[in-house]
Chain A
């Protein structure tokens, strides 16, 4: 299964390398500006594309190597984390809502969801108690982060 996975990924690297090489070849060589031909902008990207093709092909042909990648597990948890994080960062921020409110809302939902999923390890109480604790933590953390960045370190928030 891993061998197949490495082969697919090797083919993917080859495809990416080919696309990069083609884009670099088509990149403007600035001949109209009479620049030195050895300083064209596509030189290094083209070399990188070729190297990706070469090494991707090596990965494809080699089959499985030594693997230290984490075994895929908890697909549902991963999707939940992805939806929550991307929804908050790309969907809510920068659309006029106050930062502290969106951050508190995100943290409340995320903390409650994952504490509920981890309730066996955490020896957590009832859902109502978890919800109360999660809300308190989310509001406190949101206010603390907003104050720290905006008032202490004078950094703008999204």
Chain B
């Protein structure tokens, strides 16, 4: 009951015209970012973090969550019309969405994307409201040992699941953790890897590194490929149909639950939410032969799954300070910039903020629905703007975004260096998301490891014998072992 009162208070606080204008504007910006291939939700949130630095925490998070929800939704448009997923999260929906477009039913596909995204987000918001307080309560029992394993598990899972090669994913995660160690250490304020540079003493700031990894690297990836002619099919009616919801309600509920669960897993993200929901829908569907050929159920499952993963990814960011996805990692960093400290104590110290985030996600979902039903043709115009025009403008935004938070030219150099390194590594199949998770979680892992060892006087046993730490340790070790071919074969024989 107390939670409902706090939620009502948060919703009332967002009902003013300025908040509605922020929400609508930010969702539209998010949808445009999602539509433009090469621009990701993570980059959008990172750039908007720099713009919102002077706003109040609630207003800033309102803008950032709206960009997040809008970008994940907007990416489906590009997938449907051009067969290029606007963001990685929309790749699963593209399989059937573009097939529908080729059959002259692009509008129908967009309507399904809107239905699935709205249903998935609503389901996720419900879970966000119910699970965040519960998880925070459990997390109050966590000590350094549990936080060490949880953060390490985030990096390992992200490495295993966000690329096609776990070994490369883990190496990127370790590189991110190492990057976070540059500067003054969090316990003794001793300089590490600064090489006498006063700029490096302040550490590698998260936002410039993120803008480099997701912005500059992506610009180089996109611009290095010659442009192809874009052919956009005519669009039929885009109105979502109630019949789809009634016919596929089981698929929507299942995909919502899968999306939220995948979202909660540290560091995994929306794309896995979409693929897992798609795979489950295909397995249980009587129309499974239609999947990949323009299946309405398949597209509904994928879009429900990726949008449900958004609130899912915010749950551990708020309750544990361990984000569920790369965009949620930036969102968490933005909260810290605005003086909000996510983690188990957030529910104790600032319970209103948790419900503010729930209300904000609900508002973002409603704004997404508004733009999903309107502005179809103006948004399609965005797809016609040549990338040769967009990418240089985005690079200028990246430069300003890297500089704006601390007004340091050094941060522009960080953005450039991280961008070039990530571009070169991506070309060799190294995923970027684990690197970002590593930067975000580096401080927690470092402090938790050393505090745990100090508490146990160097005894490793509590890292494995405390009940929750033991479970997390087992999952982390299994995550690594499951990628070893001989161990996989052994598991397969046992099964």
Inter-chain CA distance A44–B177, complex, in Å, is 9
Inter-chain CA distance A89–B178, complex, in Å, is 25
Q: Does B429 contact A (CB under 8 A)?
A: yes
- Report the minimal beta-carbon distance from A3 to chain B, rounded to whole angstroms: 12
Q: Does B225 contact A (CB under 8 A)?
A: yes
The answer to whether A121 and B190 touch across the interface, beta carbons within 8 angstroms, is no
Q: Does B102 contact A (CB under 8 A)?
A: no
Q: Does A114 contact B (CB under 8 A)?
A: yes
The answer to whether A77 and B392 touch across the interface, beta carbons within 8 angstroms, is no
- Complex contacts, A9 vs chain B, CB 8 Å: 428
- Report the minimal beta-carbon distance from B423 to chain A, rounded to whole angstroms: 8
Residues 87-101 of A, flagged 1 when their CB comes within 8 A of B and 0 if not, give 011100110000000
The answer to whether B412 and A93 touch across the interface, beta carbons within 8 angstroms, is yes
- Complex contacts, A74 vs chain B, CB 8 Å: 224-226
- Report the minimal beta-carbon distance from A103 to chain B, rounded to whole angstroms: 5
Q: Does B389 contact A (CB under 8 A)?
A: yes
Q: Does B391 contact A (CB under 8 A)?
A: yes
Q: Does B200 contact A (CB under 8 A)?
A: no
The answer to whether A66 and B165 touch across the interface, beta carbons within 8 angstroms, is yes
- Complex contacts, A13 vs chain B, CB 8 Å: 171
The answer to whether B168 and A65 touch across the interface, beta carbons within 8 angstroms, is yes
The answer to whether A111 and B397 touch across the interface, beta carbons within 8 angstroms, is no
The answer to whether B445 and A44 touch across the interface, beta carbons within 8 angstroms, is yes
Which residue among B52, B167, B426, B445 has the maximum number of chain A CB atoms within 10 Å of its CB?
B167
Q: Does B380 contact A (CB under 8 A)?
A: no
The answer to whether A68 and B429 touch across the interface, beta carbons within 8 angstroms, is yes
Q: Does B244 contact A (CB under 8 A)?
A: no
- Complex contacts, B430 vs chain A, CB 8 Å: 69
Which residues of B (398-443) have their CB < 8 Å from a CB of A? 399-400, 403-404, 407, 409, 412-413, 415-416, 420, 426-431
Inter-chain CA distance A65–B178, complex, in Å, is 24
Q: Does B388 contact A (CB under 8 A)?
A: yes
The answer to whether B388 and A85 touch across the interface, beta carbons within 8 angstroms, is no
Inter-chain CA distance A9–B429, complex, in Å, is 11
- Report the minimal beta-carbon distance from B203 to chain A, rounded to whole angstroms: 13
Q: Does B393 contact A (CB under 8 A)?
A: yes
Asked, given contacts A74-B226, A82-B220, whether A118 binds B388 with beta carbons under 8 Å apart, the answer is yes
The answer to whether A67 and B164 touch across the interface, beta carbons within 8 angstroms, is yes
- Complex contacts, A55 vs chain B, CB 8 Å: 167, 170-171, 174
Inter-chain CA distance A122–B230, complex, in Å, is 9
The answer to whether A93 and B399 touch across the interface, beta carbons within 8 angstroms, is yes
Inter-chain CA distance A155–B185, complex, in Å, is 29
Residues 111-130 of A, flagged 1 when their CB comes within 8 A of B and 0 if not, give 10011011001100000000
Which residues of B (177-233) have their CB < 8 Å from a CB of A? 177-178, 181, 185, 187-188, 190, 192-193, 216, 219-221, 223-229
Q: Does B9 contact A (CB under 8 A)?
A: no
B399: contacting residue among A48, A62, A88, CB under 8 A: A88
- Report the minimal beta-carbon distance from A90 to chain B, rounded to whole angstroms: 6
B427: contacting residue among A69, A121, A145, A158, CB under 8 A: A69
Asked, given contacts A69-B429, A121-B227, whether A45 binds B181 with beta carbons under 8 Å apart, the answer is yes
Asked, given contacts A69-B427, A145-B397, whether A122 binds B409 with beta carbons under 8 Å apart, the answer is no
- Complex contacts, B489 vs chain A, CB 8 Å: none
Q: Does B261 contact A (CB under 8 A)?
A: no
Q: Does B54 contact A (CB under 8 A)?
A: yes
- Report the minimal beta-carbon distance from B237 to chain A, rounded to whole angstroms: 30
- Complex contacts, A56 vs chain B, CB 8 Å: 171
Q: B-contacting residues of A (Cβ < 8 Å)?
A: 5-6, 9, 13, 20, 23, 27-28, 30, 33, 35-45, 47-49, 51-52, 55-56, 58-59, 62, 65-70, 72-75, 77-78, 81-82, 84-86, 88-90, 93-94, 103, 106-107, 110-111, 114-115, 117-118, 121-122, 137-138, 141-142, 145, 148-149, 153-158
What would be 18 A-B contacts, judged by CB atoms less than 8 Å apart? A39-B454, A41-B185, A48-B178, A52-B175, A56-B171, A59-B167, A59-B171, A73-B224, A74-B224, A77-B224, A81-B219, A85-B220, A86-B416, A93-B403, A106-B392, A114-B392, A145-B393, A158-B403
Known interface pairs A27-B190, A38-B453; 16 further A-B residue pairs with C-beta atoms within 8 A, sorted by A's residue number: A33-B188, A43-B449, A52-B178, A70-B221, A81-B220, A84-B392, A118-B388, A121-B228, A122-B227, A142-B396, A149-B404, A153-B52, A155-B50, A155-B51, A156-B403, A158-B403
Q: A-contacting residues of B (Cβ < 8 Å)?
A: 50-54, 163-165, 167-168, 170-171, 174-175, 177-178, 181, 185, 187-188, 190, 192-193, 216, 219-221, 223-229, 386-389, 391-393, 395-397, 399-400, 403-404, 407, 409, 412-413, 415-416, 420, 426-431, 445-446, 449-451, 453-454, 457-458
